[in-house]
Structure 1
Amino acid sequence: MNFSSWPTLLVVDVEGNGAAPPDLVEVAVLPVREGQPDTSTAGAWVTKPKHPVTPFAARVHGLTNQVLEGQPGWEEIEGAVHARLGTAWIAAHNAHVDYRVLSAHLPQWHPAGVIDTLRLARATYPDLAKYSLDALIKHVEPDLRQAPAQRHRATFDAYATAQLLIAMAGRYESWEQLVAAAVPPGLPGAPEPEQEPTLW
Structure 2
Amino acid sequence: MNFSSWPPLFVVDVEGNGTNPPDLVEVAVLPVREGRPDTSTAGAWLTRPQRPVTPFAARVHGLTNERLAREPGWEEIADQIHTLLGTSWICAHNAHVDYKVLSTHLPHWQPAGVLDTLRLARATYPGLAKYSLDALIDHIQPDLRAAPAQRHRATFDAFATAQLLLAMATHYDTWDQLVAVAVPPGLPGAPEPEEEPTLW
TM-score (norm 2): 1.00
Work out the number of aligned pairs and report it: 200
* Residue matched to 1:112: 112
- Deviations 1:92-117 (Å, cap 9, x if unpaired)? 00000000000000000000000000
Deviation at 1:143, TM superposition (A): 0.1
Letter in 1 for 2:194: E
Letter in 2 for 1:105: H
Letter in 2 for 1:62: G
CA distance in 1, matches of 2:53, 2:117: 27
* Residue matched to 2:147: 147
* Residue matched to 1:8: 8
Letter in 1 for 2:78: E
Deviation at 1:178, TM superposition (A): 0.1
- Deviations 1:55-107 (Å, cap 9, x if unpaired)? 00000000000100110000000100100110000000000000000000000
Letter in 2 for 1:148: P
TM-score (norm 1): 1.00
CA distance in 2, matches of 1:70, 1:110: 30
Deviation at 1:127, TM superposition (A): 1.4
* Residue matched to 2:79: 79
Deviation at 1:29, TM superposition (A): 0.3
Deviation at 1:198, TM superposition (A): 1.0
CA distance in 2, matches of 1:117, 1:9: 13
CA distance in 1, matches of 2:158, 2:168: 15
1:166 aligns with 2:130: no
Letter in 1 for 2:77: I
Deviation at 1:38, TM superposition (A): 0.2
SS for the counterpart of 1:187 is coil
CA distance in 2, matches of 1:194, 1:129: 32
Stretches of structure 1 lacking an aligned partner (at least 5 in a row): none
**Residue identity (%):** 80
Letter in 2 for 1:20: N
Letter in 1 for 2:196: E
* Residue matched to 1:92: 92
SS for the counterpart of 2:70 is coil
CA distance in 2, matches of 1:35, 1:130: 26
* Residue matched to 1:27: 27
Deviation at 1:155, TM superposition (A): 0.1
CA distance in 1, matches of 2:102, 2:57: 18
CA distance in 2, matches of 1:127, 1:144: 25
* Residue matched to 1:36: 36
